[in-house]
Amino acid sequence: MDYRPLGRTGVQVSQICLGTMMFGGRTTEDDSIRIIDYAQECGVNFVDTANVYASNESERIVGRALARDGKRQSTILATKFNFPQGDDVNARGLSRRHVIEACDASLERLQTDWIDLYQLHRSNASVPIDETLRALDDLIRAGKIRYIGCSMFPAWKMVESLWVAKELGLNRFVSEQPAYHMLDRTAEREVIPAAQSFGLAVIPWGPLCGGLLTGKYRSDADVDGARWQGGKDNFGRQATPLAWQVLDLLHEMAREKDCSVSQLSLAWCGSQPGVTAPIIGPRTLEQITDNLGSVAVELTTEDLERIDALVPPRSAAVRYYDEAHAVDFSPNRHRSLV
């Protein structure tokens, strides 16, 4: 396992980040803890969760797992906030009120005194970014969080946030978490170059395209109970004919390299310029065992050129990024105040 700097910070994180969206849902607590233990035994020190995962249960499970045997001390723990937390109209979004309440609630569920990386789980145009950044800066000064980041921010929103932080003398974002994988390279157009220019770590989510890049799907057959059925996933994203051509190529390359399609796909994502650590989201111990094997897969220049020939840089064979609702363009959006 290699380690890479988390943006401009002095923190070193593993080249794979363990995502926990399945924990407390399709993955039981016992299995979730086994997955965390196995990941840490393999050198993973970076764990990402969110308060919305499994209705808060993912954070609780992660908290209980890391509270054992000093595991919290050696873990770079990341979580996210924004989405509704109940029926209260104010228990959501990026207002100062919700930022502070959400942080305190996550700290309690995670059984920790601090969060290493606290991330905005999407942007929200109805709240001026200076209000959110001021609240986050206060939490950093209070010692409750160490660093802040964003997820699915378009490049202009990232730059706006950095500019406001500089103008007001506030702590700035150190990372961006975009949807990014071989079948949708939209983030390469502006988001990743902006992150590279301003020193933000790039932590891609969905590097296996919601399972499509695991190798278990074929264009002529469905997998019972799986996320992709009839060429569409459970969010209605469509696999194009080009996507199936890419999968055919990956099956061929995986045979040549004696690895799995998922390992090849993760190795590709982790090797792209600007990428810090792809987030894997294993449901089973077998899946994380396979996923972590990607660190041993070496891609040559020729390998990358074969893939680029089908899905060139900045192209998309599946509209994944654009369907992830990157920005809330509220009709009542406000401009930032400085």
Per-residue pLDDT averaged across 218-222, rounded?
67
The set of residues, in sequence order, having a beta carbon less than 8 Å from that of 265 and lying 6+ positions away, is: 181, 182, 207, 208, 209, 213, 214, 250, 294
Per-residue pLDDT averaged across 27-42, rounded?
98
Please tell me the CATH code under which domain 3-211+265-298 is placed: 3.20.20.100
Give residue 122's pLDDT band: very low, low, confident or very high (50, 70, 90): very high
- CA distances 232 to 152, 228, 237, 281, Å, are 22, 5, 5, 19
Give residue 327's pLDDT band: very low, low, confident or very high (50, 70, 90): very low
Dihedral of the alpha carbons of 299, 12, 169, 200, in degrees to the nearest 10: 10
CA 256 from chain centre, in angstroms, equals 29
Give residue 333's pLDDT band: very low, low, confident or very high (50, 70, 90): very low
Q: Mind spelling out the 3-state secondary structure of the chain?
A: CCEEECCCCCCEEECCEEECCCECCCECHHHHHHHHHHHHHCCCCEEECCCCHHHHHHHHHHHHHHCCCCHHHHCEEEEEECCCCCCCCCCCCCCHHHHHHHHHHHHHHHCCCCEEEEEEECCCCCCCHHHHHHHHHHHHHCCCEEEEEEECCCHHHHHHHHHHHHHHCCCCEEEEECECECCECHHHCCHHHHHHHHCCEECCECCCHHHHHHCCCECCECCCCCCCECCECCCCCECCHHHHHHHHHHHHHHHHHCCCHHHHHHHHHHCCCCECCCEECCCCHHHHHHHHHHHHCCCCHHHHHHHHHHCCCCCECCCCCHHHCCCCCCCCCCCCCC
The answer to whether residue 335 scores a pLDDT higher than 70 is no
The answer to whether residue 225 scores a pLDDT higher than 80 is no
More confident site: 196 or 69: 196
The answer to whether residue 227 scores a pLDDT higher than 90 is no
Give the global pTM: 0.94
What's the chain's average pLDDT? Answer: 93
The answer to whether residue 165 scores a pLDDT higher than 70 is yes
Give residue 325's pLDDT band: very low, low, confident or very high (50, 70, 90): low
Per-residue pLDDT averaged across 31-60, rounded?
98
More confident site: 117 or 125: 117
Tokens coding 47: 């764990």
Give residue 332's pLDDT band: very low, low, confident or very high (50, 70, 90): very low
The answer to whether residue 337 scores a pLDDT higher than 70 is no
Residue 331: the pLDDT is 44
Give residue 69's pLDDT band: very low, low, confident or very high (50, 70, 90): confident
Residue 222: the pLDDT is 67
Give residue 324's pLDDT band: very low, low, confident or very high (50, 70, 90): confident
Per annotation, catalytic residue among 3, 38, 53, 321: 53
Task: Give the model confidence (pLDDT) of 129-164 as tens digits.
Answer: 999 999 999 999 999 999 999 999 999 999 999 999
Residue 316: the pLDDT is 96
Task: Give the model confidence (pLDDT) of 250-295 as tens digits.
Answer: 999 999 999 999 999 999 999 999 999 999 999 999 999 999 999 9
The answer to whether residue 88 scores a pLDDT higher than 70 is yes
Q: Which of 271, 262, 116, 130 is nearest to 202 (CA)?
A: 271
**Domain boundaries of the chain, sorted by first residue:** 3-211+265-298
Per-residue pLDDT averaged across 34-44, rounded?
98
Per-residue pLDDT averaged across 48-72, rounded?
96
Residue 321 annotated among the catalytic residues of the structure: no
Residue 221: the pLDDT is 62
More confident site: 322 or 306: 306
Residue 192: the pLDDT is 98
Residue 233: the pLDDT is 77
The answer to whether residue 226 scores a pLDDT higher than 80 is no
